[in-house]
Amino acid sequence: LSPEAEDVLDEIDEQDVDFLRLQFSDILGTPKNVSIPAEQAEKAFEEGIYFDGSSINGFVRIQESDMRLEPDPSTFAVLPWRNSEKVTSARLICDVIDTSTGEPFPGDPRRVLKNAVQRAHDMGYTVNAGPEPEFFLFEEDENGSATTTTHDSGGYFDLAPKDLAQDVRGDIIYGLQEMDFEVEASHHEVAEGQHEIDFKYDDALTTADNIVTFRSVVRAIAAEHDLHATFMPKPIPRINGSGMHTHLSLFTEGGDNAFHDEDDEFNLSDTAKQFLAGVLEHAPALAAVTNPTVNSYKRLVPGYEAPVYVAWSDVNRSALIRKPAARVPAASRIEARFPDPSCNPYLALAALIHAGLDGIENDLDCPDPVRENIYEFDEEKREEYGIETLPSNLGEAVDALENDEVIMGALGEHVSEKFVEAKSQEFEEYLVEVSEWEIDRYLEKF
């Protein structure tokens, strides 16, 4: 056993862990887990745990379904909530191995991100990523099902005697801290019932693991308060949706920030600008991965602080990418403002990384920043500035993805095929539905 695995076995003893959840993700980013009694930990590290991959969304065809989970000891964490039987559980995030080849399974999203990180390493870089996930807290109805009723009616400056939202958010933050998250900021968002909790950036793989963990911690602790936490991008029409701004930078092996240039007007190095240009170039295809639901495109409309136009800016927030002010060189980074928290973070980060690295490899020209509010541009002005728009629905985004070899390649053959298939089907199902809006608008009119 590796020293790291030995350490985990010690921790399991010390913390009286009863069950281990061996966790991995399907292509949609839904966490799956196999629970084993803690006594099986040693065996899990030695031999892995076998499971049937054919029942997991987008994994394999029936005839080639034997998969093995290999727990990554660096991801050990005791879960901060207990179930009704008061048992203590810990989780380990796993890599998925195809038993027929003995190789990492190419359909494992975590593997897709590892490949992206490896490409960056081969170019001499570590990728850092820091997310700002937003979510809504909604009341449950008498059956415990989620509603879209917000439980707090206060915005930023409400002087309610007791801010329930703040209590819940506090508990969520304690839970995250117990799982070693470094929470940097948290606040009530613009919309009623909407919240944001930011945690410190880390290497891209750790951040993707963290986002998956974050979403389950938030949901579990909200549920303890009889609330439903949702990362659905736009649960309420005409109210700001939930995004997940994603901050990115590349550090060199020596630990210097390759995105920082003291002498540049924006403190951005040529490397940073090429990376940025790569993300802009591939934005329409990226959207299918970073904004992967029908509902994602209800958020990406003008006027609600969500980006729509393919441009970058150092001053305003209507652009797809912002260059946040950096007080120290380590903080020079770009902020992709289009991703939303319904994405599979492994695939979203992998796609963003490949897009950026492609910009570096091809020495792409970075356009000038746009310093005006692009929401106020008319079509003519957008044309003059050469500003394109993001896909306006999931169908267009999937088309853009299919036509983009770089982003298809980022996902790899297995995942890109399954992903396009799943998302095309999702969009087709949506197209045949008749919405409330249509009934309201047309039923009595015609």
Q: Choose the contact partner of 324 out of ligand ADP, Mg ion, none; CB within 5 to 8 A by kind.
A: ligand ADP
Is 358 catalytic? The answer is no
Q: Which of residues 176-205 bind ligand ADP (CB under 6 A)?
A: 184-185, 198-201
Select the residue interacting with Mg ion from 245, 260, 323, 423 (CB under 5 A): 245
Q: What is the 3-state secondary structure (H, E, C) of the chain?
A: CCHHHHHHHHHHHHCCCCEEEEEEECCCCCEEEEEEEHHHHHHHHHHCEEEEHHHCCCCCCHHHCEEEEEECHHHCEECCCCCCCCCCEEEEEEEEEECCCCEECCCCHHHHHHHHHHHHHHCCEEEEEEEEEEEEEEEECCCCCEEEEECCCCCCCCCCCCCHHHHHHHHHHHHHHHCCCCEEEEEECCCCCEEEEEECCEEHHHHHHHHHHHHHHHHHHHHHCCEEEECCCCCCCCCCCCCEEEEEEEEECCCCECCECCCCCCCECHHHHHHHHHHHHCHHHHHHHHCCCCCHHHHCCCCCCCCCEEEEECCCCCEEEECCCCCCHHHCCEEECCCCCCCCHHHHHHHHHHHHHHHHHCCCCCCCCCCCCHHHCCHHHHHHHCCEECCCCHHHHHHHHHCCHHHHHHHHHHHHHHHHHHHHHHHHHHHCCCCHHHHHHHCCCC
Of the pair 257, 269, the CB lying nearest ligand ADP is at 257
C-beta of 196: minimal distance to Mg ion in Å? 4
Please choose, out of 151-159, 276-284, 326-334, 340-348, the segment that lies near ligand ADP by the rule CB under 6 A. Answer: 326-334
The verdict on 418 binding ligand ADP (CB under 6 A) reads no
User: CB 168 → ligand ADP: shortest distance, Å?
Assistant: 21
Minimum separation from the CB atom of position 255 to ligand ADP (A)? 11
Which among 335, 340, 358, 404 is annotated as catalytic?
A: 335
- Among Mg ion, ligand ADP, none, the one that 209 touches (CB under a kind-dependent 5 to 8 A) is none
Binder to Mg ion among 132, 358, 399, 404 (CB under 5 A)?
Answer: 132
Which CB sits closer to Mg ion, 132 or 281? 132
- 358, interface contact from ligand ADP, Mg ion, none, CB < 5-8 Å by kind: none
User: How far apart are CB 301 and ligand ADP at their closest, in Å?
Assistant: 20
**Cβ at position 420, least distance to Mg ion in Å:** 30
Q: Which residue is nearest to ligand ADP (CB)?
A: 130
239 binds ligand ADP (CB under 6 A): no
Q: Which one of 196, 281, 340, 399 is the catalytic residue? A: 196
Annotated catalytic residues are 52, 132, 134, 189, 196, 245, 317, 335, 337
Give the interface with ligand ADP as residue ranges (CB under 6 A): 128-130, 132, 184-185, 198-201, 245, 247-249, 257, 324, 330-331, 333, 335
